[in-house]
Structure formats: structure tokens, C-alpha cells
Structure 1
Amino acid sequence: MHIYPQTDSRHFPHNEIHCDLLVAGGGLAGLCAALAAARDGLKVTLVQDRPVLGGNASSEVRLWANGASSHMGNNNRWAREGGIMGEILEENVWRNKEGNPVIFDLLLLDLAQRQSGLTLLLNTALFEVDSQDGRIASVRGFNAINETFYQIHASQFCDATGDGVLGYLAGAEYRLGAEELDELDEKMAPGEHFGHQLGHSIYFYTKRTGQPVRFIPPSFALDDITAIPRYKRLTSTLNGCDLWWLEWGGRLDTVHDSETIKWELWKIVWGVWDHIKNSGEFPDADDLTIEWVGTIPGKRESRRFMGDYLLCQQDIIEQRDHYDAVAYGGWSIDLHPADGVYSSHDGCRQFHSKGTYTIPWRSLYSKSIDNLLLTGRLISATHVAFGSARVMCTCGVLGEVVGRAAALCHQHRLTPRQLAQPQQIPLLQQRLLHSGCYIPRQRLEDPALGAAVSVSSEYQPGQLAASGEWQPLNERMALLLPLRAGESLPEIGLLLRATRPQRLRVRLMESVRTGNYTPDCEVASQWLEVSGPEQRYSLVFPYRSERDQYLFIALEDEPQIEIALTDQQLPGVMTVFNSLNPRVAKHTRQVADGDYGVDEFDFWLPRRRPHQILPALTFTPALRCYPPENLVNGALRPEQQSNGWVPDPQDLHPTIEWRWPQPCRIDAMTLLFDNDFDNAMETVQMGHHCVVSPHCVTHYRLLADGEPLLEVTENHLSVCEHRFAQPIEVSRITLEVLASAGALPVVYGLHITAGMEA
């Protein structure tokens, strides 16, 4: 029993925290930043104003996280995010392939809670910044749940709040709305009619009960559904998270008017549900009920802070590679009308680039505040460029970048601007690549520190046996095949049949830009006279490649012809179709209905597992696309080449050996495996076919100078880092591949950390 007598006043307790890095905001960007910095040795405090992590991906909003892979709906092959963001996606599919948002919350909380060096403060809102001489010294926050004030001192600060709370309070330069056309000549600059900001959305889940459910709308529900010009697109079969276009608020202050926007969105959602349940137009909705409605809006856009570089439309469409490229994007430039659901425009205007683009380090720190890092959706970008870079998996990659950068700035006593200098930025780029954080068109230098590599075998596919299944050529179909500089394309054999004699045109195509997967240049073509019954046909193109690249062997659509399929799978080789993914495009070809400064090109899309197919093929001579030298070329995934090593299918005990001429002192090592970097792995709602991709190494053993070092079972990650409490000194590391997830195992490399902090 405690009795507290009356006093004149009382005060809530105050806690002081000292750390190396304060990360404000616990969305995917903030979490990745905090994890990266803590893993690189910093003492980190992560402050989140909500009870869970994940931001728009959390159970409070329930939007699926996506990024450069764009629902596998554009030409960005093998583009899923790597590093910590990739780890989160892979871990979620392993634990939660059904896409339960509550389990995703749990995964994120687990990652933060078990990370040494990371202090997590949930339900804590920052409200004051102490700045001195162009630097932030400390911040103050309040947790209304435990009634505690916090003062947090740090040497570096990362703003991942989405709205830029730290930057705003510290007085940093920022922008709201869209730039005018004449500032940067961005032809997608929206103008006043379309509107200068993206709005908010509130999502909902539905379920069938098996019995009639009535719905009585609240007094504030929208009563005139025709106020929504797109209301005829409403159906009873869509889940509420598919209705992302139930959006509003782009004409208001998307920070300070958020409560007004929320109430209008509730009005819209309940009006839509009233229409579905009570209009009589959807009799199959009789047994439907709403299971969940968001209580906070999913916010798309607010403040964007100024760095030393302003990312713009041309960076994306022209796929500019910056000297300080540290991250990448690949979502379309996706702009929404500011009037949202009440607009007569389509719900979005989307234009894709022909491949991925890079994001410079100079966009990820404040030009106003010396020690303020920027990540997530408040980076230095125009409204148009932001339309692509804002998606959550891209934001997660940007989070890891600033976390790793903060550690380097701490270790080398650099400011973020000093780190951006040409002589310094390779420190960050190489650190990111070393940790498995992919950067397009960049490679890790000497990943195994000069080791010689030998393998037990090498797979050289010559024949892919027919399975008995046939695929009609109802749409244009292409084989995406790697070829090395100086190599000639092998003779390719196909099994075809037709209901009657037909001619089939086959085109050899390549991408103009190295590293792209958009076949925008025809090199040669050949006609096949398909006589009717099953028969093998040969494709012979006298072509020698001048560069490492992927080629397209494209078959025109001819429904009367069928091609034989195989059950085998080739890593880094796939079949794509000139087809449509309605989530990200309206046509099988990107077509601009105006002068928007974008390219027109065909979409060539794979099919999602388990619907992927590969033709039954012969190669003469056999393909040599999985040699052991791939293990030390510094590539992290297929790009221009397959870049992986694959053992022969008859090799029952695949092994790799890395050998040094002198003993090597190793602090840590990172193995890179395959987990289908082309699979989008959206976080919630979508669901996935399998918990780990078939080519992933699931069971392996490492030996040091022939003695067992460690063994891992049930691996499901593409990046596996092993740090040692005490450095080990070895002359030889051996990897024994003991099992895969069902297909040929793939190994991309072993990254060695020696003589430095891991």
C-alpha cells in the first residue's frame, strides 16, 4: 500500500540517454538504419511514436511493402532489395508466407529487440531539438503510456519520421509540393489541375461469415457514392487494401491537417462499404463483414528535405549512375491526383524507366545540419522523383545506407558531406556491397582477399529434358539468356508442334543499356517452318557478344504452335512474356499519352512461382554460365551474367574451397546464396507459394583448414554473416553444400572481413 499526500504539483520522470546515433522513426527505413548502425558497432537509440514498428507496412496501416521489383510487373529483373531490407522480406516469407500483418509486426519487433547495441523506445514522440552551431546536440521526447520524458544525446541523428520531425524542429531547409516545370524541366511536373501532393489512404479487410450480416452506416458516412467518379470500379470481391485509390488530402497540409484527412477518409470508407452492402448492386456481399479498418491513415507525402543533390525525373528515366551511388529504385514514377478519390483523373499516373536507377549519397543528408542524416520518404528529391523513391522497400534500402554511413562517419571522424567526396565515398559503397546490399552496376573489390577458388564440379547445361507439358504461344515469349563478352551464341534446339503447318518468327534482341532487361534493339531474326507434328528445330544466330549481357530469344505469338516445356530450372535463366500486370500497368507496352519525358517500350514479365516455365532446350555447345570464377567476381546476383556458381547435378557432395598462400586472419565471413531476387516478396496480404526459393542453400557446413568451423541447417536467407568472437587464422576455408530447397544450389560468393571491425 502506497499513499501519496496532496502536493502543489507533480512532474513526470525524466530519463537521459547517451548514444552514438539517434534514429527517429520506426518504419522500415528507420528500423533498417538502426539495425545497420548497431551491427556496425554503434550505440543506437531508435525512437518510434507508435506501439509497433513498420510504419505503413505495420498492422496499423497494412499496406504491402514493395520496391524495385514492382510486383514483377516491369522489366527490372532480379531487382528485389538486398541487405537488411532483403533479410526482412526473406524472413517474413519464411515465418509468414500468408502475409499476416500482425506476424509482420512481431518479426520487426523481434529484430529490434534482439539486436545488441540497440535501445528501442516505442510510443515516444519527439517534440524538441537542441541545435548548436549547425549541429543537433540532443532531442526530447515524451511517452504518454509510461508518462516519461526522455532527453537523448547523440553525435549523429537520422530522421526517418516520414514527416521530417527532426529536420523541421532543427530548422533544416525543406520543400512541400511539386516543383514547376521550368525549374528542372521535369515533364511529369503535375501542374495545378492534377495537384502538387499525394494524399493519404485508409485500408480495410473483409471476410465472409457464411451467414447474412447487416450493416448500419455511421452518421458521418458518405451518402452520395456518385461523388466518387470511380465508384463503378467498386466490387465486393476486392479486399480493402486493393482500394489504394480511396485517397484524399493532397490539397491540404498533409502534416498538420492529418486528423481532418483521417475523418474524411473514414467518411469515404464507410460510405463505400455502405454502397457495397446496402445498394443492392452486390448481392454476393450479403455475408460479408468488415474485419478491420485502419485507425490511422497511410501517408504518402509531406516534407522533403534538401541535401547536396536533388534527385529528379531525369535521374530515373535516364537511369543515371552517380559517382556516389549507394542505393537504387525501380518502382514507376507513380503520381496521384491531389484530389484523390474525388478527382476525375485516374487514380495514378505511372511511368517506368527501362531498368533500375541509382540514388546518390548526396541526397541522404541535410545540407543545413552537419550531423543530420535523411532516409525514407523525406530524402532530397523532387516531387516527381519522390513518386518512385517513396515506396517502402526502397526506403528500407536507404535506411541501411545511412546506418552504415553513420558508422563510417563515426569511425573515420567524417561529416556526411565529407563522406560524399569522391575519394571517400568508396568506403561506403564497398561496405554496403560487402554486407550484401546490392547496388546496380557496382561490384565488390576482391571479396575473398586474394583467395584462389576451386570447386568439386561445374554445371554446364547442354540439354533440358522435355517433361511432356506443352505451352501454346498465345503471347510473345522470350528466353532470357546470359552471354559473356567474346562468346558466340550457341545453337539452340526447341521442340515445337502445330495443329497445321505454320511459320514462326524468332528474334534475337538485346538491351541498349548494359545491365537492363528491356529488349529495345533487334540484332537478328530467323523464320522457322513448323510442319505440324512434334519436331526439334534449331536456332542458329551468327552472333558474338561484345560485352557481358543478357540476350532475348523472342518467339512471336502464334496460338497454333506449342513449345515443349521442361521440369528443370536454370538459375539466372528465365522465360518472360510480353504481357500485362494490371497492378502496375494498363497495357503490355508503356505508352505515353502526352509529352511526359518518358520512354515507350514493351513490358517483358516472368510468371510468379509456381507458374514459372522453361522450354525444353538443347545448347550446342553446352552453356558455361556457372563457372567458379563467378565466386570471386564481386557480383551479388544475376546482372549482365548469372554471376553464380552451380555444381553439376550428379555431384552428390558439392564443395568450394578458398585458399590463401599465407594464413589469413578472419574476423567475419559472409556467404551469398540465391533466394530468387526476382520474386517481389510483398510483405502482407499477397501470400507466397513457398517459404524459401528452390535454389537457396538450406544446409551447409564450413571448415577451416579441414576442421569443422560451423554448420547451419534450415537456412532461408540469401546473405548469411558469421562473426567470430575471436579472429581465426586459416589458410583454407571449405564450404560443403549439404542441401538446397529443392533445385540446383547457387552460391554467389564468400566475403571476408579481416583486420578491421566486422
Structure 2
Amino acid sequence: MLTAEFISQRELKVAELAADLVIAGGGLSGVCAAITAARAGLNVILVQDRPVLGGNSSSEVRLWILGATSHMGNNNRWAREGGLVDELLVENMYRNPEGNPLIFDTILLDKVAAEKNIRLLLNTAVYEVGKSAADVISSLTAFCSQNSTRYILKAPTFCDCSGDGIVGFLSGAAFRMGAEAKDEFDEKFAPTETYGQLLGHSIYFYSKDTGKPVKYIAPDFALDDIAKIPRFKSFNAQDFGCKLWWIEYGGRLDTVHDTEEIKWELWKVVYGTWNYIKNSGNFPEAENLTLEWVGTVPGKRESRRFEGEYMLNQKDIVDQHTHFDAVAYGGWSIDLHPADGIFSEKPGCNQWHSKGIFQIPYRCLYSKNIKNLFLAGRIISASHIAFASTRVMATSAYVAQVVGVAAKICKDHAIDPADIIREEKIGLLQTALLKSGQHIPGFSLHDETDLVQSATIQASSELVIDEMDGPAQFLPLDISTAQLIPLPAGEFPVVVLQAMAEEDTQLTVELRTSVKAGNFTPDHTVTSMVFDLKKGSNSLTLNFDHTLLNAAYVFLMFIKNPLVKLKFTERRITGMLSVFNLVNKSVSNYGRQTPTEDIGVDDFEFWCPQRRPNGLNLSLGFTPALNVFSAINIRNGVDRPTVQPNAWVASYHDPEPKLILDWEEPQSISTIHLLFDTDYDHPMETVLMHHPESVMPFCVRSFSLSDEHGVVIYQEDGNYQTHKVIRLAKPVLTKKLVIHMKHPSDLVPAALFSVRCYA
């Protein structure tokens, strides 16, 4: 039995912890920053004020993770974020294609727990900042409600991933809230004068069919008049979870300090909405439905934005400006919501897309006036307009990975975050990021330590396409359809295809390209032709007599005609893709983006893929044959399709695909990086949505490595990840490395983006 004498006051238990990097906030951004830093060799403390990791992506909020891919509803091809974000999304796809948010919680916890360099503090809220100078943070003080412990967390460097910017705010870091006037950054979409209205919070609910009638009695606090919601007729008994993202409120309030008030208002709306669905009589299909889950934590969109040495703005996004210190990219639309949220007469969002992905510079990722404070997540240095694009989770977390690597450089060189620019170490950071699988638009990896750069590369075969053969089917041209074709510089090949016509008709074919290299918006029409089709089978020969000055993807477009069927192949190939002039209302894609006034965004068409099992490639023949899948691509420093596929692809007739790396002298190899194709065009939404497969069809599952004597030094069956880092127990001394692979399936040839070897 424990007894304690009466005293006037007691102190909490205090624990002092030290690390190389302290990260406040365990949302997806904090998780990615922490794991990246830990894998780089830093000791990390990750402090999270919630009982689970993931923030808005966790089971507490249940929002799907999205970024540049935008539900496949924009023109950003092969744009899913790389590095650790990709690893998490691919892992979730493998374990959880049904989109169960509880499973995603465990994936994040698993990944963090696996890193011995991370000290994780859950249920622990930062409330005080200690400083050794006016512009230097020395410690954070936090309290854990579950073990009644006060933590003092010390480090030379700190990162704020908290969403509301608690560390930056308490430390005195410069920040903003609300919209800037349009003349500050020459942003045509910005207001004439500044205002404090923000994007609001959201709370979601889930329903479940119990198989028998369920009654519902609403709580007294529920909204009693559903007509107070102008869009109440949009409610239905089928939508739940983050499909109800537009249940939003709070944009006219203080989205930091009024969060509890906002939460109560959202609860009123949610329970009132469910009362309307269950008891209005308008939804008989809801009779057996029960309210399974309602969020208790609102998902926040906007609060503080902190100032770095550069503030990203609308022109950076729309004009796709280049930056010498580019370290990441974004691609979500400029997505602003009415301040009144669900009570507004206006549409729930106002999304304006750019023609391609845009660079995010490193100067946006640290405070301009607190020397040792990194910024990551939605609080990075961006105008209100640019923030509307960068705020989404996959983009926020992608930026956070940069911080994890930058913090290691700061430690190794005993410098502050800004010194990476001032001491010209930005190239060091960019190289480290590219090596980790982080794609930076316009950059390629030049790594002198990579032994593959000095090797002679051979392959058992290389895919050369004279005909897109394989099992085929004729599909109606109900939507205008295009095949993306990667071509080297030079003359356009002659293309042959088959078309079936229900009656005599005409078929319009266009050849288009993107004005900006690397974009996938077909905004330049090279030429067009019209074919007279006879009823029945037609063989068409397309000879455009066009010369490409540079290697690029081109769009071979077939304009909608329901009387025509085109031949499609079931064969899928890395870097080959069909796209369609689709409508995707969930991301404000109506086939074409047409601004009604001059707000500084472009007018252009959307050409997007269809989700598998749809979206087959057109069955085309090429003369000369399409030859862009050379083995030499594995060392070009780009790990995804951009202006070319950037992959070695084996012939699908090759029974045993392999790559052979030869050196004149024996090489000591201890680490090998392989980058496979996990379909960077698939957005891999983490919750709610179901996906057709748990492993991407392009991904090589089985492979082995052998030395010059044929001795197998590594073998794996069942791979599903993009980036395999193989660390050998003992270095191998060899003049030859052979990579043996199996085709993923009879319809998909083996492919590899990169091989890198290190001593």
C-alpha cells in the first residue's frame, strides 16, 4: 500500500530526452520526416498529441491521402509521390486494398516502431518552447495525458509538422493567416484586399447495413432544420466517409482557438444529416442502415502558414516555375472552399488545375527568422492561393521527407537549415533525395559513387514494339480516346490500326504534343486527318510526316464517334498508357477547364486514364518499330516516365529476362538499389475506396542476383514494393552482376527503372 502525506503542491514526473531532431506532429508529414531522418542515421523524437499516427489520414479523421495524382482526374501522368510516401501507399495497397482506416493506422505504427532511432511519444502535446537566443530553439516542453509525465525535449534542430504550427507560433516564427491581396505576389486569383477567411474543418461519418430495420433517435443538439444547409438535397444514403468532404465549417472563425466550437457545429450537422436520412421518409433504402462511426476530431484544412526565405505563389504553380533549390513537387489543384462551408450557397470547392506538376523549393521549408526550425506539412511557406494546392497530405508528406534528409546534412556539417543554401550544399541535398527515390521534376541523379555508372550494361532482350499484340478486343469510341506514345527525337513513325464501323462514317484523328516538355496536357495540335470508314473492318495507316526535335510523349487522338470501335490490347507495358477526355466531377474536371474570368489559370482539356481493369492500350503497329526501352535507361538517373519511359523493359517473348552488368576490374559491392514499376499513375487512395489489385500489375515479383560465377547472392519472391534496397551481409567481390527476373504476368513484361550499386 502506498501512502503520501499532505503537501500544498506536487510536481509532475519530468523526463528529459535529447535527440538530433525533434519533430512536433505525428500526422503523415511528421511520420515521413521522422522515418526518413531515422533511416539517414539521426536520433529522432516524434511527439504526437493524439493516440494514433497519421493525422487526417488516421482512423480518427479518415481522409484518403492524395497529392499530384488527384484521383486520376488531372493531366499529371505518373505523378504519385515517391520515396517514403510511395512506400507507405504501396504497403497499404498490399495489406489493405479495401481501404480500412484502422489497418492504415497499424501500417504507420509498424513503420515507426521498426525504426530504432525513433522515440515515439503519443498522447503528448507540446505547450512550451525554450530558447537559447531570440532566434534559436533549445527545447520543447510537452505533457502526456496518459502517463502524467512532462517531457523536456532537446535537440540542435526542430521540425514543426503540427498542422497549426504550435512550435513555430510559440518560438516567434513569422506566420500568416488568411488571404494575401493579389498585388503582393501578382496572383490574379487572390482577392483585391486581404481577408482573414480560411478553409474550414470537416467531420465525416460511416454507415453500415445491419440486415434488419434500425430506428434512429437524434440527440437534442442535432441540427433540426436540414434546409439550413443549401445543398441538403445532395445528401443520400450511399455516400459516407470522406466522400462527404463538403461537410465543412469554420472558415470565418479562428481555426486554431475555435476548433472545439467548430467541432460541435459539425456534430450538429452530422447528426442532423443522419436524422434527415433516416427519418425524413425520402430514403427508404436507409431503413436497415445504422450510424457506425462519427469522427470525434475534425479534419483541419487551414490555419497558420509560416514564412520562409521564399513564399510559393500562384504563378509558381500555374506557370510551373523552375527553382535552383527544387526538392519536391506538387500537383493538386488550387483548391479553395467558401468560408461558410456547408452553409454557403456556393459550391463546396473551387478547383483550378495547372497543366502539370510544379516544383517546390527548399527555401519554403525553414523559418526565415528562427534559425533551427524546419517547416513541413501544410504550414510551409506559401501564399494562401499556393497553399490551396500544397496543403494536401501526399504533397505535405513529400515535403517532410526533404526535411528528414536536410536535418542529416545539418548535423553532419554543423549548420542550420538556411546554411544548406548559403553554403551551397543544395546539390548534396538534391542528390541524397534522388537516391532515396524522391522525384524532383527536371532533375536527374548524377551519382559518382554508383558503380553501375562505370559498368557495361547488357540485357537478354529489349522490348521493341512493331505491333501492340496480345489478346485484343474492339471497344466503342464513346469517349474521345488517345494513346500516349513515347518517341525519340526524329521522324514520327507510320502507325497502323484497326477500326470497326457500324455504318459508313468518318473518323477524326489528331496528333498532339505538350508545349512544355514533361507535361501531359495535349495543348499543341500538330496536325489532324479525317478518314472515311466503310461499314465493317477498316485498316488505317497514319503517316503524319512530322519530325520531333526532342524525345517526348505524343498523343495519338481519336475523336469521339459512337459508330466506331477501335482495337485495344490487353497487354500492359511500363510507360505505355491510354487516356480519355473524361469527366471527373470530384476534382472539378468537366472534360475541359474553362475559367470564366481572368484569374490567372489556363484553359485546356483533360485527358485522363481509366482505372483498371479498364484503360487498355490501343493495339497499334509502328514502322519503324518503337524502340525506347533500352537497358541503358537503368542509369539515366530518372526513376519514372517523364519525357520517355526511362525504363528497361524486356521483350515479352523472352523466357528468362536478365540484365548483366560487367566491369573490367572486380568491384566490391555491399548495397544494391533496384527500382521497380508500381504504377506511379495510380493514386492509391488509402481509405474508403476499394482497389482492383493489391500488387501493381507492372511490378516484378520474383528476382535474384548472381555474381560472375553464377552464385546467387540474393533472391526474393513476392516483391511488391517500388524501391528495394538490398544490403548484403558481406560485400561481394565480382566483375559481373546478373539480375534475373520473371515477367509479372503473361500480359506484362518485366521492367526496371534503375539499378544502383555501392561499395
TM range (shorter): over 0.9
Per-residue CA deviation, residues 179-209 of structure 1 (Å, 9 max, x unaligned), is: 0122112121146899731000001111111
- Give me the whole-angstrom Cα distance separating, in 2, the residues matched to 1:423 and 1:192: 38
The aligned counterpart of 1:471 is 475
- Give me the whole-angstrom Cα distance separating, in 2, the residues matched to 1:418 and 1:662: 40
The aligned counterpart of 1:718 is 722
- Give me the whole-angstrom Cα distance separating, in 2, the residues matched to 1:158 and 1:548: 41
- Give me the whole-angstrom Cα distance separating, in 2, the residues matched to 1:195 and 1:745: 53
Q: Verify the 8 A CA contact 1:80 1:678 in the aligned structure 2.
A: yes
- Give me the whole-angstrom Cα distance separating, in 1, the residues matched to 2:589 and 2:435: 39
- Give me the whole-angstrom Cα distance separating, in 1, the residues matched to 2:684 and 2:307: 32
Per-residue CA deviation, residues 635-683 of structure 1 (Å, 9 max, x unaligned), is: 1101100111111112121111223333434452211000111001011
Amino acid at match of 2:514: S
Question: Any stretches of 5+ residues in structure 2 without a counterpart?
Answer: none
Amino acid at match of 1:623: L
**Which of 701, 709, 712 is equivalent to 2:713?**
709
Quote how far apart the aligned CAs of 1:709 are.
1.9
**Which of 509, 518, 523 is equivalent to 2:521?**
518
1:226 paired with 2:227, answer: yes
Per-residue CA deviation, residues 186-236 of structure 1 (Å, 9 max, x unaligned), is: 121146899731000001111111211111111111111111111111111
Q: What is the correspondence of 1:246-257 to structure 2 with a 5 Å cutoff?
A: 246-257=247-258
- Give me the whole-angstrom Cα distance separating, in 2, the residues matched to 1:302 and 1:27: 15
Q: What is the TM-score normalised by the length of structure 1?
A: 0.97
SS in 2 for 1:592: coil
- Give me the whole-angstrom Cα distance separating, in 1, the residues matched to 2:219 and 2:728: 60
Quote how far apart the aligned CAs of 1:727 are.
4.9
1:532 paired with 2:535, answer: yes
SS in 1 for 2:465: coil
1:750 paired with 2:755, answer: yes
The aligned counterpart of 1:591 is 594
Per-residue CA deviation, residues 720-745 of structure 1 (Å, 9 max, x unaligned), is: 11234665544332211135266212
Q: Verify the 8 A CA contact 1:700 1:739 in the aligned structure 2.
A: no
Q: What is the correspondence of 1:446-485 to structure 2 with a 5 Å cutoff?
A: 446=447, 448-465=452-469, 467-485=471-489
Q: Verify the 8 A CA contact 2:37 2:408 in the aligned structure 1.
A: yes
Q: Cα–Cα, structure 1 residues 20 and 188, in superposed 2: closer, same or farther, change >3 Å?
A: same
- Give me the whole-angstrom Cα distance separating, in 1, the residues matched to 2:409 and 2:756: 19
**Which of 602, 605, 626 is equivalent to 2:605?**
602
1:504 paired with 2:507, answer: yes
- Give me the whole-angstrom Cα distance separating, in 2, the residues matched to 1:6 and 1:721: 59
Q: Cα–Cα, structure 1 residues 586 and 465, in superposed 2: closer, same or farther, change >3 Å?
A: closer
Q: Percent identity?
A: 47
Quote how far apart the aligned CAs of 1:515 are.
0.1
SS in 2 for 1:651: coil
The more displaced of 536-545 and 379-388 is: 536-545
The aligned counterpart of 1:612 is 615
Quote how far apart the aligned CAs of 1:459 are.
1.1
The aligned counterpart of 1:148 is 149
Q: What is the correspondence of 1:180-219 to structure 2 with a 5 Å cutoff?
A: 180-190=181-191, 196-219=197-220
The aligned counterpart of 1:19 is 19
SS in 2 for 1:419: helix
Q: Verify the 8 A CA contact 2:78 2:681 in the aligned structure 1.
A: yes
Q: What is the correspondence of 1:666-705 to structure 2 with a 5 Å cutoff?
A: 666-705=669-708
SS in 2 for 1:207: strand
Q: Cα–Cα, structure 1 residues 421 and 654, in superposed 2: closer, same or farther, change >3 Å?
A: farther
SS in 2 for 1:334: strand
Amino acid at match of 1:749: S
The aligned counterpart of 2:43 is 43
Amino acid at match of 1:285: A
Q: What is the correspondence of 1:399-478 to structure 2 with a 5 Å cutoff?
A: 399-421=400-422, 423-446=424-447, 448-465=452-469, 467-478=471-482
Q: Verify the 8 A CA contact 2:461 2:651 in the aligned structure 1.
A: yes
- Give me the whole-angstrom Cα distance separating, in 2, the residues matched to 1:175 and 1:727: 52
Q: Cα–Cα, structure 1 residues 676 and 586, in superposed 2: closer, same or farther, change >3 Å?
A: closer
Question: Any stretches of 5+ residues in structure 1 without a counterpart?
Answer: none
Q: Verify the 8 A CA contact 1:364 1:402 in the aligned structure 2.
A: yes
SS in 1 for 2:454: coil
Q: Cα–Cα, structure 1 residues 37 and 669, in superposed 2: closer, same or farther, change >3 Å?
A: same
Q: What is the TM-score normalised by the length of structure 2?
A: 0.97
Quote how far apart the aligned CAs of 1:348 are.
0.5
Amino acid at match of 2:64: W
**Residues paired across the two proteins, number:** 753
1:654 paired with 2:657, answer: yes
SS in 1 for 2:408: helix
Q: Cα–Cα, structure 1 residues 293 and 739, in superposed 2: closer, same or farther, change >3 Å?
A: same
Amino acid at match of 1:420: I
- Give me the whole-angstrom Cα distance separating, in 2, the residues matched to 1:696 and 1:191: 50
Per-residue CA deviation, residues 345-387 of structure 1 (Å, 9 max, x unaligned), is: 1100000000000100000000111110000000000111000
1:281 paired with 2:286, answer: no
RMSD: 1.6
**Which of 561, 564, 577 is equivalent to 2:567?**
564
SS in 1 for 2:184: helix
Q: Verify the 8 A CA contact 1:49 1:125 in the aligned structure 2.
A: yes
The more displaced of 302-311 and 126-135 is: 126-135
